Amino acid sequence: MDKRLKKAAEDGDVDTLYALLAQDPYLLDRIDQIPIVETPLHVAASFGRTHFALEIATLKPSLALKLNHIGLSPMHLALGNGYIHTARGLITVDPELIRVKGRERITPLHYVAETEHVDLLAEFLWVCPGSVEDLTVRCETAVHVAVKNHKSRAVKVLVGWLQRVNKEEILNWKDEDGNTVLHIATSTNQPKVMKSIIRHVNVNAKNLQELTAMDICLLEELQQNEVGDILRHAKAKRASSLANFTITLADYLSQELSLLEKRDKHLGLKGQNQRKSRSNIGNVILVVAILIATATYQSGPSPPGGYWQDDYDPPANNTNNLSATYLGKEGRPHRAGDMIMDPVHIFFFFTLNSIAFYASVSTILIIIMGLPYSITLYVSACFFLLAYSTSLANNYPYTPQESLTNKVAGIIYVHVTYLFTGMIILVTLVAFLRHKRLKWRLDFLRRNLGDAL
């Protein structure tokens, strides 16, 4: 690097910077061509020259990503030398600088978690949410780093953030030794940290030595202090008392696709679309299914033709009225509140209507499976199905004046609707429980393979 440029960076002399660029417009380009190099941005960050650093980062943004000969980026140097305002200035240029991996794959977020600058830690998480997923060479998250360095305030900030972005599973991620943050907090006797994380972690997770947090507690002879009380209250167990439900990747790939995996495959939610929210085709199917379910449900209380408004029971010896019973629906015996449609037409209409209704509700239940609050939606759908079946049972006409055939058909039809309702509820419950069981058994595979599963 040009000595004059280095001196200008140390002094924060922006005028000299532009004077040098006027003499040599490719000055920064030549520096950028070197993979590992100390740039004027490194120098400015080391000396806390915020304005100069921002000028360089604006003129040549790629220099902010460079590592020097000891594996540090300008953001690392600014933080390491205590120039917080410079670090804040750099993230206004590019928030992704928080994810730059320096020596040992340590990011600025890891560094801030280690030094417990909680305000800056919160800002980093806010402007760059994905940074919380970055790992060091030891497979440590920012939470691991905070716990290992006894930074309880940083742990609180991180746990609060993970709760708000629905990523509490990161607390169950394991480092290179298979330790979760709970293992580390237990072995280092940090009850305050354990209170912050205990509700969000798997208390019976095993490390690579097949030890749970309770095993570590007993080994460290901490069972009689606050750490032991916290684990017992959380119903933590020893590894020897746990059933073996582990599953290998080979076991997983040998199994048939689950209902949820078949759904994702047909809706295009895997592969290239894996990191997207929900594919367009999935949204279209869900909207159409809801429309069909709404329309068919409304047909129950509001059938075509409506209901009779009066009672009519022609005399048995009135041949004219009896003929009218067969010639048209006006002469048919009826009561106020009965459907006007002919019983045969009623049977076929509600059969087709019910098939469409149950198919659309089943589609909705399949698509929403695995989504947040899906259990609440399942319960609501079950009541919705029962309400529909009850509506049909109340409206379907099998009155004493009708023929035996119509009575039997009506009774069978109503019972079949209840049977279909029960079957859909049962199948949905079984599929949901199987999904939950598979998800629980595959936690450690997801941890190692990312979004592949």
Average pLDDT over residues 80-101: 93
% of the chain residues with pLDDT over 90: 40
pLDDT category, 43, cuts 50, 70, 90? very high
Query: Per residue in 105-134, pLDDT tens?
Result: 999 999 999 987 899 999 999 999 999 999
* C-alpha span between 159 and 425 (Å, rounded): 36
Higher-pLDDT residue of 32, 298: 32
* Close Cβ partners of 259 (under 8 Å, ≥ 6 residues apart): 366, 369, 431, 434, 435
Amino acid residing at 349:
F
C-alpha closest to that of 386 among 329, 348, 437, 424: 424
Q: What domains can you pick out in the chain, each with its CATH number? A: 1-93 (1.25.40.20), 264-304+341-452 (no CATH)
Higher-pLDDT residue of 405, 126: 126
Query: Per residue in 239-285, pLDDT tens?
Result: 888 766 556 667 767 877 766 677 667 666 554 444 444 456 566 66
The whole-number pLDDT of residue 287 equals: 77
CA dihedral 130, 131, 137, 138 (to 10 degrees): -90
Q: Could you tell me the CA-to-CA distances from 133 to 79, 107, 168, 206, 295 in Å, in that order?
A: 20, 11, 11, 21, 45
pLDDT at residue 317 above 60?
Answer: no
pLDDT at residue 407 above 60?
Answer: no
Query: Per residue in 167-225, pLDDT tens?
Result: 988 999 999 999 999 999 999 999 999 999 998 888 888 888 889 899 898 887 776 68
The whole-number pLDDT of residue 353 equals: 78
pLDDT at residue 401 above 60?
Answer: no
The CA angle 238-239-242, to the nearest 5 degrees, is 95
The whole-number pLDDT of residue 328 equals: 45
The whole-number pLDDT of residue 83 equals: 94
C-alpha closest to that of 175 among 133, 140, 210, 206: 140
Higher-pLDDT residue of 116, 305: 116
Claim: this prediction has a pTM higher than 0.75: no
pLDDT at residue 450 above 60?
Answer: no
Q: In sequence order, what are the beta bridge partners of 199?
A: none
The whole-number pLDDT of residue 421 equals: 67
Instruction: Quickly tell me which residue has 């595959």 as its tokens.
Output: 442
